[in-house]
Amino acid sequence: MQQSTPKVDHDVLSSCDAGQLELCAVETLSSMDPKALADPTIIDSSTAARPQATTGAPASEPAANPYSSPGGKWSRLQSYSTIQRTWDIWSFAISFAVRLWWSGKKLAYRRTGMTPEAVSAKKTELACWVREGLVRLGPTFIKIGQQFSTRGDVLSREFVQELEKLQDNVPAFDSATAVTMLEEELGRPVGAAYASFSRTPLAAASLGQVHYATLAGGEPVVVKIQRPGLKRLFDIDLKNIRVLAQWLQRLDPKTDGAARDWVAIYDECSRILYEEIDYTKEGASADLFRANFAGVDWVKVPRIKWDLTTERVLTMEYAPGVKINNTVELDRLGLDRQLLATRAVEAYLQQILRHGFFHADPHPGNIAVDGQGRLIYYDFGMMGSIPGDVRGGLLELFYGVYEKDADRCLTALTAMGVLVPTGDMTAVRRTADFFLRSFSDRLTNQKEPQRRTKEEKRMKRKEILSSIGEDLLLAAADKPFRFPATFTFVVRSFTVLDGIGKTLAPGFDISKIADSADLLQRLERGELKLRVRALEAERALDRVARMQTATLYALLASALVQVGSAATRQLLAQAAFGGAGMAGMFAILSLAKVRSLQKKESLYTGSG
């Protein structure tokens, strides 16, 4: 029977972080009075308020909500016009552009000086402002921010670190709207679809919210209902964002050497966003994921109730568990944390190397553990696929890194399409060999770099550049490396799983996997810098060429001034002086370019 509960206030926020909507709902139910679960018709805002955990399914506390009430006009779509939305988006974009421009000016550092530390602090401050602005702009921008938190090849370290903190906390929409949407999607009254349905949402996020319900046979389920008007909001936002991407494509100077294609990045983001708001695709992904692990008894995936699922409503099995990083609850259950860490990594390896279909966001909010020690996976809105030839190449790459075999690594990268052979590959092979040995040494002595002073780190960096500078220069000329967007998620997932493993068991060693993951991460994030023009030989040649150009323009300007002064006809004199002015302007621009190159040299060598 349908129940009546108090209306949910628009300022009520979930404490769930991005992507863990189902797990947060499970935790809320786990912490409720057992009597309420036995008789769901009495569930209301008081019983769903997360009291102290009782006996039964384990509960864990989510992270504290860093936002008091982001809200935003976007949550009132019915009275929020396209013009207003466009104004809000462009106001944010222009304000960001001005702040970014100012952060690069010496005047902004008049008190502290433009030191690397001050510049980093200014970037962190700006990144924090961006993160808060994205939350105010709502679902589209929250999701895009979360996607960019994986793009170390596009954004600086400060922005990546701030965006990783981006929380998916937004106001819940009222229960009447939820029931109306549910009935429209299912084509029948709520009472006919479910034996009972809680009007009070258990958790809310940017794309939707979760309610508790039971089926006719008494089976408990969770129902995810999409936020109303989300498709319209995406349509408006993505049209504006595409224009922004086109402008960025024209205006981005790419002075850091990164080969960014903003329009391609936009296309990838928009594709993922539209897929995430089609719950039938999420349900199909969950079914495929479950089928892939059918023979693995320590992996569980909640079953989808297809007769109660549409593009905007998803009904799934209630699968209680505790977050995989909640060590207190895991110990209380008497589970082997070392085994859990090993299984989490093993499951991911099976996904990318055997199945070719992987969970693209395996953070602790999307992986739980039940009382039997099974890993429970939630949220299949963001999945990745890897073709068979790429899977084979990845496996070869793992072996190559583990054996420190540069040739085997390059062969694997070529098979995956990551490395495009161009001319003489000797320089690339020597560079790969250097970094394989360097990374292997770092794994052996992981604490060594932490004890170095800033000066020692700077000198070490110069030593590395000088030792492989010529090889890097030769490789940079051809730019042979290409990194598909899928690899970004693979690398990020390995990093997250490494963190989970060390949380569960501080002595956990995944070096055989981390070798390859870190190598790919360093390639993807630019630590190898095969693309950048940061090498002495190339910089010197470029500076000389620019100086020669500036000198020629200056000489031309001087000659034209002389011609203009000696000219007897006014028209000829005006033309000569005009030409002199243009030549002088080009000379100044060339000198400015030389200065820019000198700044880049200081950045990559630590000098100056």
Report d(CA 329, CA 325) in Å as an integer: 9
Amino acid identity for residue 464 in this structure: I
The count of other CB atoms within 10 Å of the CB of residue 602 is 11
CA distances from 159 to 124, 165, 275, 501, 542 (A): 7, 10, 26, 25, 31
- The structure tokens listed for 335 are 């589970």
Q: What is the 3-state secondary structure (H, E, C) of 408-472?
A: HHHHHHHHHCCECCCCCCHHHHHHHHHHHHHHHHHHHCCCCHHHCCHHHHHHHHHHHHHHHHHHH
Q: Helix 570-605 to helix 454-478 angle, to the nearest 10 degrees?
A: 120
Q: Which of 497, 519, 522 is nearest to 508 (CA)?
A: 497
> Where do runs of H (alpha helix) occur along 104-194?
116-137, 139-148, 157-163, 175-186, 190-193
CA distances from 270 to 61, 237, 239, 259, 450 (A): 33, 10, 10, 20, 40
The count of other CB atoms within 10 Å of the CB of residue 278 is 16
Contacts of 158 (CB under 8 A, 6+ apart): 120, 123, 124, 126, 127
Amino acid identity for residue 117 in this structure: E
Contacts of 431 (CB under 8 A, 6+ apart): 468, 471, 472, 475, 528, 530
Q: What is the DSSP letter of 207?
A: S
- State the catalytic residues: 361
The count of other CB atoms within 10 Å of the CB of residue 368 is 26
Report d(CA 500, CA 363) in Å as an integer: 8
Residue corresponding to tokens 């690594």? 409
Contacts of 252 (CB under 8 A, 6+ apart): 260, 262
Are 322 and 387 contacting, i.e. CB atoms less than 8 angstroms apart?
Answer: no
- Find residue 13's DSSP bridge partners: 171
